[in-house]
Amino acid sequence: MPKISERGIQMPSSPIRKLAPLSDSAKARGLKVYHLNIGQPDLPTPQAGLDALKNIDRTILEYSPSDGYRSYREKLVGYYAKYNINVSADEIIITTGGSEAVLFAFLACLNPGDEIIVPEPAYANYMAFAVSAGAIIRPVSSTIEEGFALPPIEKFEELINERTKGIMICNPNNPTGYLYSRAEMNQIKKLIQKYDLYLFSDEVYREFIYTGSPYVSACHLVGIEENVVLIDSVSKRYSECGIRIGALISKNKELLKAVMKFCQARLSPPLIGQIVAEASLDADPDYLRDTYEEYVERRKFLIDRLNMIPGVYSPIPMGAFYTVVKLPVDDADKFCEWCLSDFEYEGQTIFMAPASGFYTTPGLGKNEVRMAYVLNKEDLGNALTVLEKALEAYNTLEK
Amino acid sequence: MPKISERGIQMPSSPIRKLAPLSDSAKARGLKVYHLNIGQPDLPTPQAGLDALKNIDRTILEYSPSDGYRSYREKLVGYYAKYNINVSADEIIITTGGSEAVLFAFLACLNPGDEIIVPEPAYANYMAFAVSAGAIIRPVSSTIEEGFALPPIEKFEELINERTKGIMICNPNNPTGYLYSRAEMNQIKKLIQKYDLYLFSDEVYREFIYTGSPYVSACHLVGIEENVVLIDSVSKRYSECGIRIGALISKNKELLKAVMKFCQARLSPPLIGQIVAEASLDADPDYLRDTYEEYVERRKFLIDRLNMIPGVYSPIPMGAFYTVVKLPVDDADKFCEWCLSDFEYEGQTIFMAPASGFYTTPGLGKNEVRMAYVLNKEDLGNALTVLEKALEAYNTLEK
C-alpha cells in the first residue's frame, strides 16, 4: 500500500468538525445536541436569495467564468464602496467559499518553507491551507487576559526573517471576536511596509461589529495597496454557508494573474451559489438590521450568562459571532469530548470547539473553548444550563 | 511589491480557457463564436435535477457534511453497482467537482518532488494540480498515428524511480477519446502492483463509450484495490458542469482519512449542487439514452466531416466527447488565436483548444487541436465550414 504524503499526515484535523462523529452518536442515542462548535447561523438566508434560487429557469447548469460572473463582480463593487473599499470588478475573483480564497492566496504567494505570521488563537483552517501550500505559520500569541488584543508589534517583528512572506489577520476575529483598532491596524501597516510583506486579511465578519469603534479594513491602509489580499465570503453575512461563494480581492495585478491560473484549473466557482449571492446583495435592509440586532442580543445574553457561571470567563467580543471562553477544567479537549460521549442533562448536551485547535503553539488554550452564538436565545440559554451542569458533574468526577 | 510563488509562476494557463479574452472580443465585434474548445455540453440537465432545484424549500442554505450528504453517497453506491464498481458510502467522498478530487488526491498522496507518470496528451489541469502539490508529471507520449493507444508499458517502467508514486489515467480519455482495453488496463495493473504505486483513474466519461469494447474501470482490477483512487464528476454525465459536484473514491482507509482533513479544511462541498446531483440519479432512462444517441450521431458527423477536409486527420474517438485533430498548419496555437482575432466567415468563427497545452513534453501537439463535440449538428456543421474556410485563408496568408 503506497504511503500518504507528509502534508497528508501534518494536516490538522478540524477542531470544529473532528468531534462530529461523537455528536452524531449522541444524536443517535436520542440526545438534543446544541451546536456551539460551528459558525452555522440558524438565521434565514435573505428572501431575495431564496427567491433567486426558486426563479432559476435555466435548462443547462453550465460552467461560469473562472473568475465568476461579471454581473456579480460589478455589483460587488457597489457593496464594497459602502465600506469605503474602492475596488473594480477586475480586482475581484469569485472563489468557492472564503476557504478557496485563502488556499489560492497561499498557493500563489508562498513557496514551500515560506513563513507567515499569524496572531493566535486563529481560524484553524489557515493552518490547514498553509500545510497544503507547504508554508509555515509562525504564531504570535494573544491572551484572554488582554482580551485578545493585537500582541505587541515587536513580537511580530522578532519573527521576521528572510523566509517571512506575510502576515495573516482575521478582522473582526474568528475565534476571539476581537476587532483591531485603527492604531493596531496602523502598526501592522508599518510592518508590512517596512519588510514589503503580504497582508492577508480575512474580513468576512465586517457586518457584525458591535462596538462604537470603526471597522478598519486592510484595504483602508494607504501605501500598502499592492500588498493586501482581502479574503471574503457571503457565508456568514447572508447565512449562506452552503452555497460556497467567497472572493479574493487584490490590487496587485501579478498576484491576480497567478491566482487566476489556479481558478482556471478548477474551471469555475459554483454557478447556483453565484446567482443566490448576487441576488442577496439586494436583501431587504431590514434583513441585515434584524440579523445584526439579533446577534447584539445573543452576544449580551451569552457573555453575561457565561461570566455568571463559577470559574468561567469570557471577554466581550467586539465583532463576529464567536467568543473564546476560559473554563474551570484542566483539559478542554477532554471536557468537550466528555460532554458529547458521557454527559447529558435532561436529554440534552453541548458541542463546543476546543480552543487548542486554534493555537499553533502547543499547550496553549488548554482550558479554553470557542463558542459560536449562532443559536436563538432559548437554545443558548438551554446550552448554558447544560454547560453549567456539565462543569459541576465533570469536576466532581475528576476529584 | 512582494513576489508571487514559484508555483504561481509555473502554473500553466489553461489551454481551454486562455484564449477566452480573444473569444470575448470576437463576440463584442458581433461574431458568432462556435465553442469547440470546452467540454460544456449544450444538452439539458435532467428534468429530475432541475425539478429538485425548483423544489428546494429550505430557509437556510447551510453547510453540508465535509464528505457530502450521506443520502447522496448511499444513492451513489447503487449507481456504481450498475458498473460493477463495488463501493460503500464510506468509501465515497463528495468533492467540489472532479477538479477538487484530483487536487486533494495529489495533496494527500504526493510529496513535493514526487513523480506521477501520465500518458500524454492529457487533461491539462492534471499538470496544474500537480504543480499545486509540488509534484512532477512524467509524460509518456501517445501518438495520433497510433490512435492514442496506451504507449508500450515499457515506456512507463523506464520512468519509474524512487520518487515515482503513481500513474494517472483518464478513461475514456480527455482529450483523445481513447478507451483503454482490458489488455492495456491489465498492463497498467501489473505495473501498479509491481512497484506498489497509486493508480489515479479519472473516469468521468464512463457514460460515453461508443464501441463494443467493455468499460474496464480501475476499480475492476483485482489485487490493487488499495492503490486505486477513482476520480468522478457529474458535470458531463448530466450536463451539470456548473454545480461543481465530483467524488473521490477509494478503499484505502488511510488515504480517505488524509483526504478528509483537506475536505474539513474547506468545510463542505456545495449544498445545492448535491441536491441536484442526488436527484439526477433518478433521471428518466430516456434522458441518458437520448444524450448518448445524440453524442453517437455528433461523433460520426464530426469525424466523417473532419477527415474530408484536405490535410485534416482525426482518429475515431471511442469515448468521451472530444477528439484530437491534426491540422495542416505549423502552429496550432497561432492558428487558434488567429481564428478568434483575425478571421471570420459570414459573421462566424471558431474557438478550438490548441493541443500543445495537453502535452507536457515541449514541442508535441504543435499541429493538433482538441475539439469537443458538445454542439448540435447544425452548429457543428457550421463550425466545420468555418474551419475549412479558415484553413484555406490561413495557409494562403502564410505563403
pLDDT at B398: 56
Of A99, A103, A111, which has the smallest distance from its Cβ to B6's Cβ?
A111
Judging contacts by C-beta atoms under 8 Å, the chain B residues touching residue A11 are 258, 261-262, 265
pLDDT at B233: 98
| pLDDT tens figures, B52-93 | 999 999 999 999 999 999 999 999 999 999 999 999 999 999
CA distance A370 to chain B (A): 17
Q: What is the mean pLDDT of residues B354-363?
A: 95
CA distance A234 to chain B (A): 11
Res. B376: pLDDT tops 90: yes
Percent of chain A with pLDDT over 90: 94
pLDDT at B13: 83
Cα nearest neighbour of B251 on chain A = A1
The domains of chain B are located at 6-44+285-398, 57-280
Whether A18 and B271 lie within 8 Å, measured CB to CB: no
| pLDDT tens figures, B321-331 | 999 999 999 99
Strand partners, B222: none
Of A16, A97, A268, which has the smallest distance from its Cβ to B242's Cβ?
A268
The model's confidence at residue B320, banded by pLDDT at 50, 70 and 90, is very high
Whether A258 and B11 lie within 8 Å, measured CB to CB: yes
Kindly state which CATH superfamily the domain A6-44+285-398 is placed in.
Answer: Aspartate Aminotransferase, domain 1 (3.90.1150.10)
Whether B109 and A166 lie within 8 Å, measured CB to CB: no
CA B264 to chain centre: 25
Whether A11 and B66 lie within 8 Å, measured CB to CB: no
CA distance B180 to chain A (A): 24
Beta carbon pairs, A and B, within 8 Å: 260
| pLDDT tens figures, B34-49 | 999 988 888 999 999 9
pLDDT at B238: 96
Whether A265 and B129 lie within 8 Å, measured CB to CB: yes
Main-chain dihedrals φ then ψ at residue B70, nearest 5 degrees: -60, -40
Which grid coordinates belong to A297? 442580543
Q: CATH says B57-280 is which class?
A: alpha beta
Q: What type of residue sits at position B24?
A: D
Percent of chain B with pLDDT over 70: 99
Res. B17: pLDDT tops 80: no
Q: Dihedral (C-alpha) B367, B370, B375, B380: value to the nearest 10 degrees?
A: 20
Report d(CA A5, CA A35) in Å as an integer. 33
CA distance A224 to chain B (A): 9
- Interface test with chain A among B266, B268, B376, by most A beta carbons within 10 Å: B266
Of B107, B109, B254, which has the smallest distance from its Cβ to A132's Cβ?
B107
CA distance A127 to chain B (A): 9
- So what's the ipTM on this one? 0.95
Whether B38 and A273 lie within 8 Å, measured CB to CB: no
CA distance A235 to chain B (A): 9
| pLDDT tens figures, B250-294 | 999 999 999 999 999 999 999 999 999 999 999 999 999 999 999
Judging contacts by C-beta atoms under 8 Å, the chain B residues touching residue A114 are 5
Percent of chain B with pLDDT over 90: 94
pLDDT at B14: 82
pLDDT at A398: 56
Low-confidence ranges of chain A (pLDDT < 70): 398-399
Helical residues (DSSP H) of chain B, grouped into ranges: 6-10, 20-28, 47-54, 70-81, 97-109, 124-133, 153-159, 182-195, 253-265, 271-280, 285-308, 332-341, 377-398
Cα nearest neighbour of B266 on chain A = A99
Cα nearest neighbour of A11 on chain B = B261
